[in-house]
Amino acid sequence: MSTSRKNQIFIGTFIHSTTLTTLEYLHNTAIAVSASTGKIIAIEPECDLHKAKTILVPKLGWDSGPTSVEILSTQKDYQFFFPGFIDTHLHASQYPNVGIFGNSTLLDWLNTYTFPLEASLSDISKAKRVYSRVIKKTLSHGTTTAAYYATIDVTATNLLAELCLERGQRALIGRVCMDQLGPEYYLDESPEESLSKTKECVDFIREKKQDLVRPVITPRFAPACSFDLLKKLGDLAKETDLPIQTHISENKNEILLVKELFPMEKTGAKDDSYASVYDAAGLLTEKMILAHGVHLTEFEADLIAERKSKVSHCPCSNSAITSGAAKVRWLLGKGIVVGLGTDMSGGYSPSVLEAARHAVLVSRHVAMGGDDEVAKLSVEEVLYLGTKGGAGVVGLEGTVGGFEVGMEWDAQLIGLGRVEDGGEEEEGEDGGNVDVFGWESWQEKIAKWVYNGDDRNTKKVWVRGRLVHERK
């Protein structure tokens, strides 16, 4: 990683969410990014390349020489800058299994496909191959921040953290804690071992003295943890103020299992709900990222809202392994902060854009199930979930997810395709499956991107000002 980066100015159209329902379109705008901090230090409207050089650079007190400032200007009406995506839930270790689940559902899927693969990543060369690929792949889809689950293996988990740092992806890295439910060959031996191995990973990352990659306390999900382990992790969260991530209420059989494994007399909770188990263990805090929440009860959603825990909505996964359709509008209505997760490999796609698309589609299935038009999410709303919503989920609200002075430059340059008169695509451009004919409004171009876009449209990706992916 080069540390001698230049100051940068980006010129063109910038699009980002200002509210859940509103995208702001900033045309002919320049954004200046500091080399030393990677932060946005100026947003200049009505600016072009000439003005940037002659007015903006001097105003910023920057040397205008070519060694000091790098300027990227695009005035093409089918290119724009967009905040980097935030993937609030994915299992780096499961990446080789994307698309492989047959007709299974959660609990048999874990045993058949997931545990064997995760266990095999204690082979560090295999872990390196898989983790290198998943970082490269998610970056190429514009994922600038990822909340990763690794495996129970300390060395491989630490390797994932190192690789993220090396490649420049902002990440939360979680060593998976599980002392029950898993097969004998893939379990922590005791709550104590689970805790001490977690601390090893936390210490390893903290010793790096940086905050791009952070540790996250990661009980796999309640059924895979003894209550003793859950409580120990709750205590650790309290001591360290670290973020926490886990799963909740993904699948109906899983919920029954939780009721069976965690009776009220064991947890001391006032009811036997799934959320109350985490709450009783001290894990339901404002730093908790709860994946799925498909079948949450009214009581649980209210409790989660009260505790200010966050929810990662994983629509591709929930459909693919037949978990259910999460009621996102209902969660949002309770004031819960919601982001998107690819949940590879329950989800099959590395793309947050695909998760956004499926958040729209799944919300329509929720609407069709209840004849409730209000459930439907718009293109604008799911893009919010994939950026600002996600930032809130992973504790980076105000730091990433939008274009404002003081926020860090985690961004992607998006290029769509331009159809020429003969029906061919403009020479030298690869717009993938997003065909712009030229008469579309910006809102329509964004809709086309959400529905047919893929990594071919993600031309460049930056994290904290550093160029971390460029499409050749």
Binding stretches for its own copies (CB under 8 A): 95-96, 98-103, 125, 128-133, 135-137, 319-320, 322-325, 348-351, 360-361, 364-365, 367-369, 373, 376, 378-379, 419-424, 432-435, 437, 439-440, 444, 447-452, 454-455
Location of structure tokens 């903006």? 56
Secondary structure of residue 356 in the 3-state scheme = helix
Separation CA 64–CA 402 (nearest Å): 27
Query: Minimum Å distance from CB 353 to its own copies?
Result: 12
Separation CA 264–CA 351 (nearest Å): 39
Cβ nearer to its own copies, comparing 66 with 422: 422
Q: Which residue type does 89 have? A: H
Secondary structure of residue 338 in the 3-state scheme = strand
Query: Minimum Å distance from CB 94 to its own copies?
Result: 12
Separation CA 415–CA 421 (nearest Å): 19
Cβ nearer to its own copies, comparing 27 with 128: 128
User: Contact, 457 vs 439, CB < 8 A?
Assistant: no
Residue 453: closest CA among 401, 415, 426? 415
Separation CA 452–CA 449 (nearest Å): 5
Query: Minimum Å distance from CB 102 to its own copies?
Result: 7
Q: 472 is written with which tokens? A: 């050749």
Q: 37 is written with which tokens? A: 């901090």
Query: Minimum Å distance from CB 290 to its own copies?
Result: 20
User: Contact, 92 vs 171, CB < 8 A?
Assistant: no
Query: Minimum Å distance from CB 107 to its own copies?
Result: 14
Cβ nearer to its own copies, comparing 50 with 439: 439
Query: Minimum Å distance from CB 457 to its own copies?
Result: 12
Query: Minimum Å distance from CB 228 to its own copies?
Result: 35
Cβ nearer to its own copies, comparing 309 with 351: 351
Query: Minimum Å distance from CB 63 to its own copies?
Result: 37
User: Contact, 419 vs 435, CB < 8 A?
Assistant: yes
Separation CA 270–CA 414 (nearest Å): 50
Separation CA 103–CA 95 (nearest Å): 18
Residue 377 carries which DSSP code? P
Query: Minimum Å distance from CB 109 to its own copies?
Result: 13
Query: Minimum Å distance from CB 434 to its own copies?
Result: 8
162: burial class by Cβ within 10 Å (0-12, 13-18, 19+)? Answer: middle
Cβ nearer to its own copies, comparing 231 with 295: 295
Q: Going by C-beta distance under 8 Å and a sequence separation of 6 or more, which residues neighbour residue 326?
A: 292, 293, 294, 313, 314, 315, 318, 362, 366
80: β partners: 414
Buried b (16+ CB within 10 A) or exposed e, 391-407: bbbbbbeebbbbbeeeb
Chain mean position to CA 462: 15
Cβ nearer to its own copies, comparing 287 with 292: 292
Q: Which residue type does 259 have? A: K
Cβ nearer to its own copies, comparing 21 with 75: 21
Query: Minimum Å distance from CB 233 to its own copies?
Result: 31
- Compute φ and ψ for 276, nearest 5 degrees: -70, -25
Cβ nearer to its own copies, comparing 207 with 424: 424
Cβ nearer to its own copies, comparing 131 with 409: 131
Cβ nearer to its own copies, comparing 51 with 376: 376
Cβ nearer to its own copies, comparing 48 with 425: 425
Query: Minimum Å distance from CB 453 to its own copies?
Result: 9
User: Contact, 288 vs 310, CB < 8 A?
Assistant: yes
Cβ nearer to its own copies, comparing 242 with 325: 325
Residue 150: closest CA among 195, 205, 92, 96? 92
Q: Going by C-beta distance under 8 Å and a sequence separation of 6 or more, which residues neighbour residue 179?
A: 187, 188, 189, 190, 191, 193, 194, 224, 225, 226, 229
